[in-house]
Structure 1
Amino acid sequence: MKPAARKKARTLALQALYSYLMSGNEMRQVELAMATSNDMSQVDMEYFQAILHGVDADPEAIDAAYKPYLGRLPEELDPIEKSIMRLATFELIERIDTPFKVVINEAIELAKTFGAEESHKFINGALDKAVKTLRKDERR
């Protein structure tokens, strides 16, 4: 799959994760709404669905995986930061086919696009610390 299709999958997955947090709707409803309101022809649908269903399967475990690297509680994150951290942490844990540098870079870009002014720095710092544990076997 082309990198651009994965990038689009991450962008839409972030929007879906944010919608899920804000609406309280079931993930399947959010996924359907995203799929019907966007052109999905250039999206890596398998990756998009893997992120959504992977995060939805156990969001507490994902939050626990990144929590030690935050410097604050996951509950204190704004919904965009929390969604980015969940997305990136899921990728770091479950999608070892994606190099950790790509995961971190994509998370930073999402934070620059959707997050608060300085959130990309926070995301970068937290993920840079997390990767040392979550991807300890991957060479830097």
Structure 2
Amino acid sequence: MSDLGDTEGGAFAPKKRPPRQARTGTTSTGARKAGSKSNRSRAREFALQALYQHLVGGNDAAAIDAFTRDLSGFHKADSAHYDALVHGCIEGAAQLDALIEPHLDRKLAEVSPIEHAVMWIGAYEFQHCLDVPWRVVINECIELAKEFGGTDGHKWVNGALGNLAPQLRAAEVAADRGAAPAPPQGSQHPQD
């Protein structure tokens, strides 16, 4: 096939090619492309898939784990982080739900299993992965919701986790925002 065609220059003038698109690390939906993901980000993706299986099918953690480890690309994931997320979220499901539910505008049973699992990951990392900054936790969860969740699910996840962060990472959030940490819920301010 020739790249010559009927254009302004005559019947056999070369066709003009459209300008090359700049390559970025995001897809058309705004999610990161696979090549630009860290091994921890990949671990979160596989953990999300596993937690989805647990929430939707009620499958056993060991069976889910065995299945997920056989998926293509798992070798690129941080398996220790994946293990912590999957087993920690499943074992602590009731406690994580109790933390998340007060920050929702609906019952947890009405939440999509994807967004539910993403919020489990966020709440678990806030509590147990203190080496991951709170803003990174939220950003990673937003990315998961963009890639796997509903159209505006990422906005909803952002709001819920953004409200949960000051509760679970009070000193870190306050330091980032340049303010004194908020007093624990139920306590009185010294000036009261």
Paired residue type of 1:61: Q
Do residues 107 (structure 1) and 107 (structure 2) align? no
Mapped to 1, the partners of 2:88 and 2:112 lie a distance apart of 21
| 2:45 corresponds to 1:11 | yes
Q: Distance in 1 between matches of 2:70 and 2:41?
A: 19
CA distance in 2, matches of 1:117, 1:36: 29
Q: CA deviation at 1:46?
A: 0.2
Residue 69 of structure 2 is aligned to residue 35 of structure 1:
yes
Bigger fraction of residues in strand: 2
- Structure possessing the higher radius of gyration over alpha carbons: 2
Letter in 1 for 2:103: Y
5+ residue gaps, structure 2, are 1-36, 177-192
Alignment partner of 1:94 out of 128, 143, 152 = 128
The offset of 1:38, in angstroms, is 2.6
- Equivalent residue, structure 2, for 1:26: 60
CA deviations on 1:15-52 (whole Å, 9 max, x unpaired) are 11001111211011001100012332211000000001
Gaps of 5+ in 1: none
TM-score (norm 2): 0.69
| d(CA) in 2 for partners of 1:58, 1:127 | 17
Structure 2 CA distance for aligned equivalents of residues 99 and 73 of structure 1: 28
SS of 1:97 mapped into structure 2: coil
Other structure's SS at 1:37 match: coil
RMSD: 1.1
Q: 1:33-112 alignment to 2 at 5 Å?
A: 33-112=67-146
CA distance in 2, matches of 1:59, 1:25: 14
CA contact (8 A) 2:134 2:169 kept: yes
**Structure having the larger proportion of residues in helix:** 1
Q: Return the match for 2:159 from 111, 116, 125.
A: 125
Give the length in aligned residue pairs: 138
Residues in 1 aligned to 2:58 and 2:121: alpha-carbon distance in whole angstroms:
17
Identity between Structure 1 and Structure 2 (%) = 36
Report the CA distance between 1:69 and its aligned residue.
0.9
